[in-house]
Structures are given as structure tokens and as C-alpha cells.
Structure 1
Amino acid sequence: MIDIRRFRGRRRLTVVGLVATAGVLLAGTALAESPAAAAAHKEALVPGTPCTVSAKSCVDLDSQRAWLFSGGTILRGPVPVATGGDGQATPVGHSLRVYRKDANHKSQESRLPNGAPAPMPNSVFFEDGGIAFHSGSPSRSSAGCVHLNPDDAKAWFDYLQIGDKVQVVSAKAEMAARGGH
């Protein structure tokens, strides 16, 4: 049985009870790839990264590093990041888009020990569910967001604009999807 539905802005493909939201799923001998992933795999990569030349920002979940790009050239990076943990993975995507920026955002999901909303300075939101780049410790996993050092978070906030493409990928999966090159 195959069931394709929209889920948090991505296609969800269910094959015999398995769910693929990362773009590629091997089920027996069948290979399913989202349209965004298929298009990305036809594009050139920014040298030294797992992301394509049309992206403005790239996150590699494998190495926990991120970059800023302009026209296929690295402007900043690689910089260390921390992505989701504790069952709240950072969503994978090839054509995520910046949809909101808030320099002084306060989390509605995470709380400080005193119960106050946790600060998320220099937030750049790029995925449904409040997923954002923001200032936070790159040595502590987030609730799906991408933590950057304060100087890097400011650079991401200043550079990225509404509508800019963000790619969050696994370098290993990207290389495998491109036939190892």
C-alpha cells in the first residue's frame, strides 16, 4: 500500500507502514524521492558542502555544521551547530524557506527554570512548528531548532531574508542519492 499526504509542508510517503519524510526511502527495491529532493539532486553542490547552489543556508545533520551561501559561494562557515534531540529532530528538507524573523523571540515551547519563556535571540524561522536558526549553545541539542553561537546567529539573522531557501540534509544520504559523488 502506498499513501502520499502532506505533512508539515513535506510529502509523507507511507509504504507498508514505513514513513519517509527525509526525501528518500528504500522499501524492498522501490526508491521514493520527494520532488524537492529529486530537483536538488540534479543541481550542482556548493563545493565542500552537501547543499546545492540555489540554497542560501545549509545545515549538515551528520557533521553538525552550517554555512551561508551567495550564488554558490560560501560566505560563512562551516560553523558548529546543534540540532534537534530528545525525540524532536530537526526536519530534513531541500527547499525549506525563511518565513519569519524575530530578533527578540521568546519560545512558547521551552521554558526557563522560573517558568518564563526561553529566549531565542536572532530567530530565523524556516519550517512549520517554530523551527528556526537562533542563538543557543552548539553543544546542546535543541527542540528541533538549529542552535548557533551568538555571533553566527547574528550573521544568519542579518543575511537571510524572507523567502530564502534553506537546506537541512544528511551529507551521507545526499552522497548516496547522487551515486556517491
Structure 2
Amino acid sequence: MGTLSRRKTARPAAARRLGVLLGALGLAAPLTLAMGGSAEAAPSCTTRTGPYQKEAEKFLGRPVDGRQSPADCKAIQDFQTSRRITPNIGFAGPITWGVMQEEITRRDPNAAGKCPVDRGRIACVDLSRQISWIQDGKALKFGPVPVRTGRDGYETRTGAKKIYWRSADHWSTIYKVRMPYAQFFDGGQAFHAIDGSVWSPPGSHGCVNMRTADAKTYWSMLGNGDDVFVYGRKPGT
């Protein structure tokens, strides 16, 4: 009985050790099957057509007809599962479309064509989305990165501009704050780094605030005479 008892306890211990090893190698699921368990089944795919069906179909490279099909649902479900969107039942709802939009922005922030990119190197600023990026013609060179633009009453001015003065270690005599990697493009408004968070409300006094690493990259990629284009409207202004 003592030998049998030891054998019964040894097997779970060995299984646990094997589980740790295989888990570290990304093979935990095969272990579950090998030990006689069952992998968690994917939830059933919905037959419902979501409000963002056409958008999801286009994003995923599916035929765009706005009607849910088993293949559409499987493609949407796979996307949801890979991005950890729940419930992952293949329904093209607002959360799924929101994540897709974020990925579209990362792939091509100028997908809507609102920033003119027919003039060589240009820094684009979208006030509505609070992002900025650098393009050279149709080629995305850097970004998009988050920015903090002017608050209500101190809005960052829109339109076509050019960088006209740069100061790597600038000090604002008006607001008594440091403005590292400042690149001025419109009457005192500039790209520059800030010490705090670019997501903190209510906004700047008109400058385009950036994280230090992003402002440093802008400094290295842009120069006097380079184009800047600001468009949109910051939420709350």
C-alpha cells in the first residue's frame, strides 16, 4: 500500500513539473490534452450582423456586403480572441470596431487624407484625435504619438505652417516652465517636451506637448523650414 500511495502522489507531482516546463515553452495547451483534460472550447459564433459589419469586413479583408456569414464571424472572432476582446463571439460591435480603428491609426494615421502629404517632409497634428506624426510624401516616418494641445481659450491654431525657430533647452519667460526640444511653428506655438503626462487635462497654452522621447525624435527629424499642418478640433474646446 505504501508503494502504491507513493506512485499515486508521484504522478501529479511529475505532471506539475512537466506543466511548468511546457508552460514556459508555450506548450501548456498540448499538456492539458496529454494529461487527459480538455482544452477550453471557443464560444459559439453569433449569426447576428453587427452595427460595424461593413467596417470590420473591410478591415479584415473580407468581402464587404454588410451581412454576417460563418466565415465573417470566424474572422471577427479570431481578431477578438487575439486582442482579448470579450465576449469573443464574432459580433462586430463598437468595442471591436474601436480597437480596429486604433490599429488603422497606427498603420496609416492619414487614412482620411486630411493632412497634405504632397510636399515632402511634414509634421501632421490631428487635434481631434490628439495625435501627431511625421510623413515624407506617402511614407509614414514616425508616429503617430500622443500629444496634448491647447486648452479652451488657448487653442492650437489650425492650418499650414512652417518651423521657423528651434531651441533645444528653451525656457518660457511667459509661463516660467522648461520647453525642451522646442520647435516653433506659429507665433509662439511649438512642439516641445513636458515633464508631466501628455494625457493630463485641461491642455497646453497652445503648444503641442509631447513625451520627451517623442519630442527628441521630432527634433532629430525636423528642421527650420519644414512643414507643419494642424487640423481638427480638440475635444472640449
Output the TM-score relative to the length of structure 2: 0.48
Q: 1:138 aligns with which of 198, 203, 217?
A: 198
Q: 1:151 aligns with which of 207, 213, 218?
A: 213
1:69 and 2:131 aligned: no
Q: SS of the counterpart of 1:82? A: coil
Q: Per-residue deviation at 1:50?
A: 2.6
Q: Per-residue deviation at 1:52?
A: 1.3
Distance 1:167 1:149 in 2: 20
Amino acid across the alignment from 2:178: P
Q: SS of the counterpart of 2:185? A: strand
More helix per residue: 1 or 2? 2
Q: Residue 173 of structure 2 aligns with which residue?
A: 108
Written as runs of structure 1 = structure 2, the 5 A alignment for 1:1-181 is: 46-47=110-111, 50-53=114-117, 54=119, 56-93=122-159, 95-110=160-175, 117-128=176-187, 130-136=188-194, 137-140=197-200, 141-170=203-232
Q: Per-residue deviation at 1:84?
A: 0.2
Higher relative contact order structure (alpha carbons within 8 Å, sequence separation ≥ 6): 1
Structure 1 regions of 5+ residues with no counterpart? 1-44, 111-116, 172-181
More strand per residue: 1 or 2? 1
Distance 1:89 1:60 in 2: 13
Q: Give the root-mean-square deviation of aligned CA atoms.
A: 2.1
Output the TM-score relative to the length of structure 1: 0.62
Deviations for 1:67-88, whole angstroms, at most 9, x for unmatched residues?
A: 0111221111111000000410
State the 4+ residue runs in structure 1 displaced beyond 4 angstroms: none
Distance 2:192 2:113 in 1: 21
CA contact (8 A) 1:98 1:164 kept: yes
Identity %: 38
Larger radius of gyration: 2
Structure 2 regions of 5+ residues with no counterpart? 1-108
Distance 1:159 1:67 in 2: 11
Q: Per-residue deviation at 1:100?
A: 0.5
Distance 1:119 1:131 in 2: 14
Amino acid across the alignment from 2:168: A
Q: Per-residue deviation at 1:161?
A: 1.0
Distance 1:61 1:98 in 2: 18
